[in-house]
Homo-oligomer: A and B are copies of this chain.
């Protein structure tokens, strides 16, 4: 397949799909053949505006798109006939049925973190386990929170530092464009399931990582926050911790001292930096909240749920199709195409 561009479909043009489509379009080794969806509203109209070929995920949707004046390039089956791989970003209940369809069409498939590990048997985070996904038919890019845990814990785990990791994460209550669904005001909703699923999920990426997570959700919609406490196998200094995180791809530093004191100020910086949709693909770690007490290290970090898995999905396309055997090369290529950085602002000291 090397030499020719990989032909990519995105099925489901929602919060993740629309970002994946844009990111695919930026890659010089990929061709976005089209996006498929069932919607006829403003979201799919944006796909048309961006010049993406729009396909109808089912016949009824195609009729509605026609009626809404959206130019429909064909059905999902038509789209599947023209691509090598599909990034499935559809709502999660459809995943299993879609898998049969992709298999029948001889197309490789990538799902998002809402699906279970068992759907594909391979949970993917580029900088951790790219190689194992090479030339597989199917893989799952883990969820936003699991991706963040995988990246940050990998920085420590690959140095043999992690005896046991613990994290508490507070999820956003709803997504930015929603005004009611799952919305909440003036409260915190603790997750009753302990441990929460993110810990076990991170173990699908880093199998021997000893980690437990607790979770809750609060009345805000601009990303998640994690508080991690990592018991280390030996005393790890603050400088070692900072260096390990600096060496880890897609982990960036923010500082309260720069006025980046909260989730919303970091997102405002993404807007000021003219990031598409104000997206932050990196895990943002508060550098001035890093701590070590000789027994444990402490990390506080922000996860932009809408964006963090987008570069992972791009790398997963390269892994499944085998067009790039070197994970680090794929990560570097993706990062360059999107503008992923280690530090959003020049150092002032």
Q: Chain A interface secondary structure, helix, strand, loop or mixed?
A: mixed
* Beta-carbon contact of A188 and B220 below 8 Å: yes
Q: Does A261 contact B (CB under 8 A)?
A: yes
Complex interface bits, A218-249 against B, C-beta within 8 A gives 1, otherwise 0: 11111001010100000000000000000000
Q: List A186-207 residues whose CB lies under 8 Å from chain B.
A: 186-195
Q: Which of B188, B229, B291 contacts A166 (CB 8 A)?
A: B229
Q: Determine the distance from Cα of A298 to Cα of B167 in the docked complex, in whole angstroms.
A: 12
Q: Does A288 contact B (CB under 8 A)?
A: yes
Q: Determine the distance from Cα of A21 to Cα of B216 in the docked complex, in whole angstroms.
A: 35
Are A291 and B219 also in contact (CB < 8 A) when A189-B262, A214-B227, A261-B189 are?
Answer: no
Residues of B near A262 (CB, < 8 A) are 184, 187-190
Which residue of the partner chain B has the closest CB to A295? Answer: B164
Residues of B near A290 (CB, < 8 A) are 194
Which residue of the partner chain B has the closest CB to A292? Answer: B194
* Beta-carbon contact of B188 and A225 below 8 Å: yes
Least distance between A270 CB and chain B CB atoms (Å): 14
* Beta-carbon contact of B216 and A219 below 8 Å: no
Q: Does A289 contact B (CB under 8 A)?
A: yes
Which residue of the partner chain B has the closest CB to A218? Answer: B218
Q: Which of B188, B214, B261, B288 contacts A229 (CB 8 A)?
A: B214
Q: Does A300 contact B (CB under 8 A)?
A: yes
Complex interface bits, A251-276 against B, C-beta within 8 A gives 1, otherwise 0: 00000100001111100000000000
Residues of B near A314 (CB, < 8 A) are none
Residues of B near A214 (CB, < 8 A) are 168, 227, 229, 298, 300
Q: Does A58 contact B (CB under 8 A)?
A: no
* Beta-carbon contact of B219 and A225 below 8 Å: no
* Beta-carbon contact of A194 and B261 below 8 Å: no
Least distance between A334 CB and chain B CB atoms (Å): 28
Q: Does A293 contact B (CB under 8 A)?
A: yes
Residues of B near A124 (CB, < 8 A) are none
* Beta-carbon contact of B212 and A293 below 8 Å: yes
* Beta-carbon contact of A220 and B289 below 8 Å: no
Residues of B near A263 (CB, < 8 A) are 187-188
Q: Does A55 contact B (CB under 8 A)?
A: no
Q: Does A315 contact B (CB under 8 A)?
A: no
* Beta-carbon contact of B227 and A187 below 8 Å: no
Q: Does A170 contact B (CB under 8 A)?
A: yes
* Beta-carbon contact of A291 and B195 below 8 Å: yes
Least distance between A252 CB and chain B CB atoms (Å): 16
Residues of B near A138 (CB, < 8 A) are none
* Beyond A186-B220, A186-B222, A216-B227, 10 additional pairs, beta carbon < 8 A: A166-B166, A168-B168, A168-B214, A188-B262, A189-B262, A190-B225, A190-B256, A190-B300, A194-B289, A229-B229
25 A-B pairs within 8 Å (CB atoms) are namely: A168-B168, A170-B218, A184-B262, A187-B220, A187-B264, A187-B265, A188-B220, A188-B225, A188-B263, A189-B261, A189-B262, A191-B289, A192-B288, A192-B289, A193-B289, A194-B290, A194-B300, A212-B229, A212-B293, A214-B300, A216-B225, A216-B227, A218-B218, A218-B220, A229-B229
8 A-B pairs with the lowest CB-CB distances in the bound complex, closest first: A194-B291, A168-B168, A187-B264, A189-B262, A187-B262, A168-B227, A214-B227, A186-B220
